[in-house]
Amino acid sequence: MLMKLLENCTGAFSVVNMKKISVGVLGATGMVGQTIVALLDNHPWFEVTEVAASEKSAGKTYEEVMGTRWNTSSDMPEYARNLKIKECTPKLDCEVVLSALDASVAETIESDFAKAGYAVSSNAKNHRMDPDVPLLIPEINADHVDLIRTQQKARGWKGFIVTDPNCSTIQMCIVLKPLMDNFGLEKVIVTTMQALSGAGYPGVPSMDIADNVIPFINNEEDKVETEPLKILGKLSQGTIKNADFAVSAQCNRVAVRHGHMECVSVKLSKKTNEDEIISRLESFRPLAAMNLPSAPKRPIIYQRNQNRPQPKLDVNLENGMASVVGRLRKCNILDYKFVVLGHNLVRGAAGAAVLNAELLKAKGYLSG
Ligand SMILES: NC(=O)c1ccc[n+]([C@@H]2O[C@H](COP(=O)([O-])OP(=O)(O)OC[C@H]3O[C@@H](n4cnc5c(N)ncnc54)[C@H](OP(=O)(O)O)[C@@H]3O)[C@@H](O)[C@H]2O)c1
């Protein structure tokens, strides 16, 4: 009785006694990988037992490789410093792998891990559009995790792969979801201003980007135009029927460290007004009942000052997990236009992969 009471009171009893789920980070030395390492410091459900990267990093301690490359504002976590970096082969001592691998190698390595029985939560583009791989944003399509069953059956895998979307897609889709559900969505036009950390480490040469804007990011526009249709689609009988709207994207690299800004115009099916749209955005709290540790309390924050959002001021709201919206107004071509900002390394990558892993645990796809 006392134990039951304690559990009900705070949940602290169960957290203290719960065995943490072991996690390996693939690509742990990159921009996204190190952000995962930082986010999992003292995580209530997960514990990093392995870090892995290319053969040039393997065999050294995490601190030896990352001492001069650590690029995250918090200190390198103590737990990670002496971990020996391994190669990315499916012999790691963990149940789950969070993959932040370069796309040139992610396809085969992630499949090898899933085949060997690991749960893979990936940031890479390679498997996102596979018809049997969930492309998850838990606030939008948590039910798509059930594609895992189709995947395992079709491929004969003991493990599985789930993916998170492109860093520009995620923050925009979180805003499109309440618009689609409440007003119907017909067309989206988006122009992005994407941060330097979106290009990995060391990324764009400083001589190319200083005092400049580069109006091209390889393959980015295609991802921003196609991924939302799968994410906002419906899962039925083991397949996803894509959402029925069109997206046109123009993507630019700008000299900002973290935080992708996007100017978005939308055509809606129903008539509405600014107040109603803002109210729907601010009340969008689909994960409130699930208690996932990394889920933002406010997935969408609306900034009423006319010069917000700004990367410098808003990128870390809700620990970097919010889509920060502002400047909602009428559009002369479509219906409404607004600006949305998201932290590309957190909401757009590392935090998204961690949140997906939390969803997997909550839905019974992991032990513990
Ligand atoms: N940056 C973002 O905002 C962002 C957002 C969403 C998605 N993503 C995706 O997330 C992934 C990681 O991005 P990133 O920005 O962190 O890139 P990054 O900084 O270039 O890091 C790439 C990682 O992949 C490892 N790697 C490279 N070649 C390898 C090989 N042959 N075998 C094993 N490991 C290898 C690197 O290890 P070494 O250090 O040992 O070379 C490093 O740990 C990419 O697929 C990217 O498209 C990035």
| Average per-residue pLDDT for the chain | 95
Question: Measured from the CB, is residue 163 less than 6 Å from ligand 1?
Answer: no
Cβ 165 vs Cβ 125: under 8 Å:
no
| pLDDT for 18 | 75
| Residues paired with 117 in a beta bridge | none
Percentage of the chain surpassing pLDDT 70?
Answer: 95
Domain ranges of the chain: 2-165+350-362, 167-343
The reply to whether ligand 1 has any atom less than 6 angstroms from the CB of 34 is no
**Predicted confidence (pLDDT) at residue 6 exceeds the cutoff of 70:** no
Choose, from 94, 167, 173, 251, the residue flagged as catalytic.
Answer: 167
d(CA 316, CA 341): 10
Pocket test for ligand 1, best of 25, 29, 32, 111 (most atoms within 8 A of CB): 32
- Phi and psi dihedrals of 78, rounded to 5? -55, -40
pLDDT exceeds cutoff 80 at 15 = no
pLDDT higher than 90, residue 2:
no
- The band of 1, judged by pLDDT with boundaries at 50, 70 and 90, is very low
- Would you say residue 7 has pLDDT above 70? no
Q: 229-250: per-residue pLDDT in tens?
A: 999 999 999 999 999 999 999 9
pLDDT of residue 16: 52
Is 260 a catalytic site residue?
yes
Average pLDDT over residues 293-311: 98
Burial of 37 (0-12, 13-18, 19+ CB in 10 A): buried
Structure tokens at 37: 């390492």
Considering the chain, what percentage of its residues have pLDDT values greater than 90? 94
Per-residue model confidence (pLDDT) at position 9: 40
Residue 17 has pLDDT above 80, yes or no: no
Catalytic residue of the set 127, 144, 258, 260 = 260
- At the fourth CATH level, the homologous superfamily of domain 167-343 is Dihydrodipicolinate Reductase; domain 2 (3.30.360.10)
N-terminal to C-terminal alpha carbon distance within the chain:
23
| Mean pLDDT in residue range 74-86 | 97
Cα 172 to Cα 247: distance, rounded to the nearest angstrom: 11
CATH H-level, domain 2-165+350-362: superfamily:
NAD(P)-binding Rossmann-like Domain (3.40.50.720)
Tell me, using a 6 A CB cutoff, whether residue 29 lines ligand 1: yes
How far apart CA 136 and CA 154 sit, in angstroms, is 20
Distance CA 150, CA 146 (A): 8
123: Cβ contacts below 8 Å, ≥ 6 apart:
32, 98, 99, 100, 101, 163, 164, 349, 350, 352, 353
107: pLDDT strictly greater than 50: yes
Instruction: Compute the distance between CA of residue 173 and CA of residue 292 in angstroms, rounded to an integer.
Output: 20
Average confidence (pLDDT) over 198-222? 97
**Per-residue pLDDT for 338 more than 50?**
yes
Average pLDDT over residues 156-170: 98
Number of H helices, E strands in the chain: 14, 14
**Do 143 and 235 contact (CB within 8 A), yes or no?**
yes
Average pLDDT of 271-275? 98
Predicted confidence (pLDDT) at residue 368 exceeds the cutoff of 80: no
How far, in Å, CA of 101 to CA of 259, rounded? 20
